[in-house]
């Protein structure tokens, strides 16, 4: 017995997502997600919000990230396991669901490993547009793993950087990143130390994976007037920046209730002042106010960004037909006859 169309859920696999991104264009897809995030951050108050629900182990974390507005509900399942790459597995993998608030039915089930890289890059670039010095032609990219190229392409597309200076403790990661960015139009400089990487950079992105309080940037490495985009510190006990840098910076966060648990600011007093980025985007709080200011986007990743990204994918998948129809929901002829549906299927 075949389910009716109303019970089939569009499913975007990794393969379909890759085709979708190429069909739309990588830059265009990142731009579309940035536009969607910007629109949703402007109506921040219309969302149900909660810090993500995390299950920790000594080697990593698995998280559920839910949010909803009046019309849609979304959640993402995501992990963070820095040691995974040693076994040929990814540090971060994800999938997610977009659902209809009226019926509660899922509208989309999607891979979100690639989508997380796109939305994290879009979010970084959106923050940098409001916070980075102008102009900001050069970015240091510290941590050259799975997220890195996406960050560079987004900063090129949305902020206009023309140069990236790469550093990773593993030179093979830097070589991979430099190779992937050849032909991007960016000038790519592989650096041997983090000090060399940040030389002359207006934007410093840290995107490393290590389950500890690391010091990827020490206080003396960060001069005035730069924008820091700190992505890798996103879990209790997992940070990248020396605390002294935080005391010199104006700090911008997604959702304080979550960032105080997970972000760089877990190193600070619970009442240390921070600015919510949505307020800057909505014009309710200033972004950078002084060219000599150090601005810090203490990025941890928030559910509304995934909600925005899933809505973009939902639209694009329908436009392109790049999805499979998944038999995910029971669809008895009589909605109350679930048992009868099961019995009729016997031997069918
Ligand atoms: P990855 O494991 O693919 O890459 C991490 C890279 O960091 C590796 O190449 C590793 O060699 C390098 N590294 C580790 N310590 C370093 C150091 N001290 N200096 C320089 N390089 C170092 O991981 P990924 O998928 O690229 O993710 C990177 C980080 O970003 C992870 O910590 C992940 O949890 C985080 N993340 C955050 C968000 C967000 O929204 N804020 C989203 C996705 C991923």
Distance 189 CA to ligand 1 centre (A): 19
Q: Which two tokens stand for residue 34?
A: 């940035």
Q: pLDDT at position 211, please?
A: 87
Residue 1 banded pLDDT, cuts 50, 70, 90 = very low
pLDDT digits (tens, 9 = 90+) for 220-268: 999 999 999 999 999 999 999 999 999 999 999 999 999 999 999 999 9
Write out the catalytic residue numbers.
Answer: 234
Nearest to 139 by CA among 187, 78, 80: 187
Cβ of 61 closer than 6 Å to ligand 1, yes or no, is no
Q: Which two tokens stand for residue 10?
A: 């569009």
Distance 232 CA to ligand 1 centre (A): 5
Peptide linkage before 334 cis (omega within 30 of 0): no
Side-chain half-sphere CA neighbours of 64 within 13 A: 7
Q: pLDDT at position 4, please?
A: 64
Cβ of 263 closer than 6 Å to ligand 1, yes or no, is no
Percent of the chain with pLDDT over 70: 99
User: Which of ligand 1's atoms lies nearest the C-alpha of 92?
Assistant: 25
Q: pLDDT at position 70, please?
A: 98
Mean pLDDT value across the chain: 97
Distance 299 CA to ligand 1 centre (A): 12
Enumerate residues 6+ apart whose C-beta is below 8 A from 239.
213, 214, 233, 263, 264, 266, 267
CA-closest residue to ligand 1 atom 16: 208
pLDDT digits (tens, 9 = 90+) for 96-144: 999 999 999 999 999 999 999 999 999 999 999 999 999 999 999 999 9
pLDDT digits (tens, 9 = 90+) for 301-337: 999 999 999 999 999 999 999 999 999 999 999 999 9
Residue 294 sits at the vertex; the CA angle it makes with 291 and 299, to the nearest 5 degrees, is: 130
142 phi, psi to nearest 5 deg:
-105, 120
Sorted by where each starts, the structural domains of the chain and their CATH numbers stand as 8-114+304-347 (3.30.1780.10), 132-302 (3.40.50.720)
What's the rounded Cα separation, in Å, for the pair 265 and 246? 8
Q: In this model, does residue 190 exceed pLDDT 90? A: yes
Percent of the chain with pLDDT over 90: 97
Nearest to 301 by CA among 243, 269, 253: 253
Cβ atoms 242, 215 nearer than 8 A:
yes
Q: pLDDT at position 250, please?
A: 98
pLDDT digits (tens, 9 = 90+) for 34-62: 999 999 999 999 999 999 999 999 999 99
Nearest to 235 by CA among 92, 75, 89: 92
Cβ of 91 closer than 6 Å to ligand 1, yes or no, is yes
Choosing from 126, 143, 198 the residue with most ligand 1 atoms within 8 A of its CB, the one to mutate for a pocket test is 143
pLDDT digits (tens, 9 = 90+) for 156-186: 999 999 999 999 999 999 999 999 999 999 9
């Amino acid at each position: 017995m075949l389910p009716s169309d109303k019970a089939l859920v569009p499913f975007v696999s990794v393969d379909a997502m890759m085709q979708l991104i190429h069909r739309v264009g990588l830059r265009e897809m990142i731009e579309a997600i940035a536009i969607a995030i910007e629109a949703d951050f402007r109506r921040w108050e219309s969302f149900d919000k909660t810090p993500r629900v995390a299950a920790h182990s000594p080697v990593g974390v698995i998280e559920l990230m839910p949010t909803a507005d009046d019309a849609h509900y979304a959640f993402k399942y995501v992990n963070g396991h820095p040691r995974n790459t040693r076994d040929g597995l990814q540090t971060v993998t994800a999938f997610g669901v977009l659902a209809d608030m009226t019926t509660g039915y899922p509208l989309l089930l999607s891979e979100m490993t690639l989508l997380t890289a796109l939305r994290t890059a879009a979010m970084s670039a959106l923050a940098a547009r409001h916070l980075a010095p102008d102009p900001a032609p050069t970015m240091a990219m510290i941590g050259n793993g799975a997220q890195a190229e996406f960050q560079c392409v987004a900063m090129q597309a949305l902020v206009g950087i023309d140069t990236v200076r790469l550093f990773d403790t593993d030179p093979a990661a830097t070589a991979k990143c430099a190779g992937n960015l050849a032909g991007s139009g960016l000038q790519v400089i592989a650096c041997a130390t983090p000090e060399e990487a940040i030389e002359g950079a207006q934007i410093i992105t840290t995107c490393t994976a290590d389950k500890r309080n690391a010091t990827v940037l020490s206080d003396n490495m960060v001069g005035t007037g730069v924008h820091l985009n700190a992505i890798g510190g996103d879990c209790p006990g997992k940070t990248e920046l020396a605390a002294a840098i935080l005391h010199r910076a104006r700090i911008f966060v997604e959702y304080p209730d979550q960032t105080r648990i997970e972000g760089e600011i877990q190193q600070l007093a619970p009442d240390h002042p921070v600015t919510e980025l949505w307020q800057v985007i909505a014009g309710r709080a200033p972004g950078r106010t002084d060219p000599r200011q150090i601005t810090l986007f203490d990025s941890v990743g928030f559910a509304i960004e995934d909600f925005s990204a899933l809505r973009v994918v939902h639209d694009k998948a329908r436009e392109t037909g790049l999805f499979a129809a998944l038999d995910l929901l029971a669809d008895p002829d009589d909605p109350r006859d679930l048992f009868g549906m099961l019995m009729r299927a016997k031997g069918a």
